[in-house]
Amino acid sequence: MKEGIFMLENYSKILVGLDGSVESTKAFDTAVATAIRNDAELVIANVIDLRAFQSISAYDTVIAEDTQKGAQHLVDDFVKEATDAGVKKITPRIEFGSPKVMLGQTLPKEENVDLIVLGATGLSYIERIFIGSVADYIIKNAPCDTLIVRDKK
Protein backbone atom coordinates (compact mmCIF):
# COMPACT_ATOMS: atom_id res chain seq x y z
CA MET A 1 0.00 0.00 0.00
CA LYS A 2 1.34 3.40 -0.96
CA GLU A 3 1.99 5.89 1.78
CA GLY A 4 -0.93 8.27 2.27
CA ILE A 5 -3.48 6.06 0.51
CA PHE A 6 -6.26 4.82 2.74
CA MET A 7 -7.82 1.53 1.71
CA LEU A 8 -11.51 1.04 2.44
CA GLU A 9 -12.85 -2.43 3.09
CA ASN A 10 -15.24 -3.67 0.43
CA TYR A 11 -18.11 -5.49 2.09
CA SER A 12 -20.24 -8.01 0.21
CA LYS A 13 -22.70 -9.13 2.90
CA ILE A 14 -23.88 -6.93 5.75
CA LEU A 15 -25.93 -8.04 8.76
CA VAL A 16 -28.03 -5.48 10.62
CA GLY A 17 -29.74 -6.41 13.88
CA LEU A 18 -33.09 -4.73 14.51
CA ASP A 19 -35.17 -4.55 17.68
CA GLY A 20 -37.43 -1.60 16.88
CA SER A 21 -35.42 0.90 18.94
CA VAL A 22 -34.28 4.31 17.71
CA GLU A 23 -30.69 3.06 17.90
CA SER A 24 -31.37 0.03 15.70
CA THR A 25 -33.16 2.27 13.18
CA LYS A 26 -30.04 4.46 12.96
CA ALA A 27 -27.98 1.28 12.47
CA PHE A 28 -30.36 0.21 9.71
CA ASP A 29 -29.91 3.54 7.90
CA THR A 30 -26.12 3.14 8.08
CA ALA A 31 -26.31 -0.50 6.94
CA VAL A 32 -28.48 0.46 3.95
CA ALA A 33 -26.09 3.24 2.91
CA THR A 34 -23.12 0.89 3.28
CA ALA A 35 -24.87 -1.87 1.30
CA ILE A 36 -25.67 0.53 -1.53
CA ARG A 37 -22.12 1.95 -1.57
CA ASN A 38 -20.63 -1.57 -1.70
CA ASP A 39 -23.36 -3.16 -3.87
CA ALA A 40 -23.66 -5.64 -1.00
CA GLU A 41 -26.36 -8.01 0.16
CA LEU A 42 -28.19 -6.89 3.30
CA VAL A 43 -29.28 -9.42 5.93
CA ILE A 44 -32.00 -7.87 8.09
CA ALA A 45 -32.36 -9.78 11.36
CA ASN A 46 -34.61 -9.67 14.38
CA VAL A 47 -33.83 -12.06 17.21
CA ILE A 48 -36.62 -12.83 19.65
CA ASP A 49 -34.98 -13.29 23.04
CA LEU A 50 -36.14 -16.59 24.55
CA ARG A 51 -35.55 -15.22 28.06
CA ALA A 52 -38.71 -13.14 27.61
CA PHE A 53 -40.74 -16.37 27.59
CA GLN A 54 -39.20 -18.09 30.62
CA SER A 55 -42.05 -17.21 32.96
CA ILE A 56 -44.77 -18.05 30.44
CA SER A 57 -46.41 -21.45 30.48
CA ALA A 58 -45.06 -23.82 27.86
CA TYR A 59 -48.65 -24.36 26.74
CA ASP A 60 -49.32 -20.69 26.01
CA THR A 61 -48.04 -20.35 22.46
CA VAL A 62 -50.28 -17.36 21.67
CA ILE A 63 -47.78 -14.87 23.10
CA ALA A 64 -44.88 -16.43 21.19
CA GLU A 65 -46.93 -16.41 17.98
CA ASP A 66 -47.93 -12.76 18.49
CA THR A 67 -44.30 -11.85 19.14
CA GLN A 68 -43.22 -13.63 15.97
CA LYS A 69 -45.94 -11.84 13.95
CA GLY A 70 -44.77 -8.50 15.34
CA ALA A 71 -41.19 -9.34 14.42
CA GLN A 72 -42.30 -10.34 10.92
CA HIS A 73 -44.07 -6.98 10.44
CA LEU A 74 -40.99 -5.13 11.70
CA VAL A 75 -38.64 -6.97 9.36
CA ASP A 76 -41.05 -6.69 6.41
CA ASP A 77 -41.23 -2.92 6.89
CA PHE A 78 -37.45 -2.63 6.90
CA VAL A 79 -37.12 -4.92 3.86
CA LYS A 80 -39.48 -2.63 1.95
CA GLU A 81 -37.57 0.46 3.07
CA ALA A 82 -34.22 -1.05 2.02
CA THR A 83 -35.67 -2.12 -1.34
CA ASP A 84 -37.11 1.37 -1.92
CA ALA A 85 -33.69 2.86 -1.07
CA GLY A 86 -32.02 0.76 -3.75
CA VAL A 87 -30.59 -2.31 -2.00
CA LYS A 88 -30.68 -5.05 -4.63
CA LYS A 89 -30.38 -8.22 -2.52
CA ILE A 90 -31.99 -8.57 0.91
CA THR A 91 -32.28 -11.60 3.17
CA PRO A 92 -34.74 -11.32 6.07
CA ARG A 93 -34.10 -13.43 9.19
CA ILE A 94 -36.32 -13.86 12.23
CA GLU A 95 -34.84 -16.11 14.88
CA PHE A 96 -35.54 -17.23 18.44
CA GLY A 97 -32.59 -17.36 20.81
CA SER A 98 -30.00 -15.21 22.49
CA PRO A 99 -29.53 -11.96 20.53
CA LYS A 100 -25.87 -11.92 21.56
CA VAL A 101 -25.12 -15.36 20.19
CA MET A 102 -27.41 -15.18 17.15
CA LEU A 103 -26.15 -11.77 15.97
CA GLY A 104 -22.55 -12.25 17.11
CA GLN A 105 -21.84 -15.80 15.98
CA THR A 106 -24.62 -17.93 14.51
CA LEU A 107 -26.04 -15.63 11.82
CA PRO A 108 -22.68 -14.21 10.69
CA LYS A 109 -21.37 -17.74 10.17
CA GLU A 110 -24.56 -19.10 8.54
CA GLU A 111 -24.85 -16.12 6.21
CA ASN A 112 -21.10 -15.64 5.60
CA VAL A 113 -21.35 -12.00 6.71
CA ASP A 114 -18.34 -9.69 6.53
CA LEU A 115 -19.84 -6.72 8.44
CA ILE A 116 -22.29 -6.51 11.36
CA VAL A 117 -24.02 -3.17 11.98
CA LEU A 118 -25.70 -2.53 15.35
CA GLY A 119 -27.13 0.39 17.24
CA ALA A 120 -25.52 1.37 20.52
CA THR A 121 -27.91 0.90 23.40
CA GLY A 122 -28.47 3.32 26.20
CA LEU A 123 -27.68 0.86 28.95
CA SER A 124 -26.39 2.35 32.18
CA TYR A 125 -23.26 1.03 33.85
CA ILE A 126 -25.35 -1.01 36.32
CA GLU A 127 -27.50 -2.50 33.54
CA ARG A 128 -24.36 -3.55 31.62
CA ILE A 129 -23.01 -5.28 34.75
CA PHE A 130 -26.17 -7.32 35.27
CA ILE A 131 -27.42 -8.05 31.76
CA GLY A 132 -24.43 -7.18 29.65
CA SER A 133 -24.34 -5.35 26.39
CA VAL A 134 -25.27 -7.19 23.20
CA ALA A 135 -22.95 -4.88 21.28
CA ASP A 136 -20.07 -5.52 23.69
CA TYR A 137 -20.46 -9.28 23.33
CA ILE A 138 -20.63 -9.07 19.54
CA ILE A 139 -17.57 -6.82 19.30
CA LYS A 140 -15.59 -9.38 21.30
CA ASN A 141 -16.90 -12.53 19.59
CA ALA A 142 -17.91 -11.74 16.01
CA PRO A 143 -16.02 -13.49 13.22
CA CYS A 144 -16.06 -10.28 11.11
CA ASP A 145 -15.95 -6.49 11.32
CA THR A 146 -18.50 -4.79 13.56
CA LEU A 147 -19.82 -1.25 13.28
CA ILE A 148 -21.62 0.28 16.26
CA VAL A 149 -23.80 3.25 15.32
CA ARG A 150 -24.33 5.81 18.08
CA ASP A 151 -27.03 8.40 18.52
CA LYS A 152 -25.23 11.70 17.96
CA LYS A 153 -27.48 13.66 20.38
Give the pLDDT score at 90.
98
Give the pLDDT score at 4.
45
Give the pLDDT score at 2.
46
**Threshold 0.75, pTM exceeds:** yes
The count of C-alpha atoms lying within 13 angstroms of the C-alpha of 38, restricted to the half-sphere facing its C-beta, is 19
Q: What pLDDT tens digit does each residue of the chain (153 aa) get?
A: 444 444 467 899 999 999 888 888 999 999 999 999 999 999 999 998 877 666 655 546 677 777 888 889 999 999 999 999 999 999 999 998 888 999 999 999 999 999 999 988 755 555 455 445 788 888 899 999 999 888 776
- Enumerate domains of the chain plus CATH numbers: 13-149 (3.40.50.620)
Q: Is 41 within 8 Å of 89 (Cβ atoms)? A: yes
Q: Is 47 within 8 Å of 54 (Cβ atoms)? A: no
Handedness of CA 135, 138, 140, 143 (dihedral sign): negative
Give the pLDDT score at 7.
44
Give the pLDDT score at 41.
98
Q: What CA dihedral angle connects 77, 80, 85 and 86, to 10 degrees?
A: 150
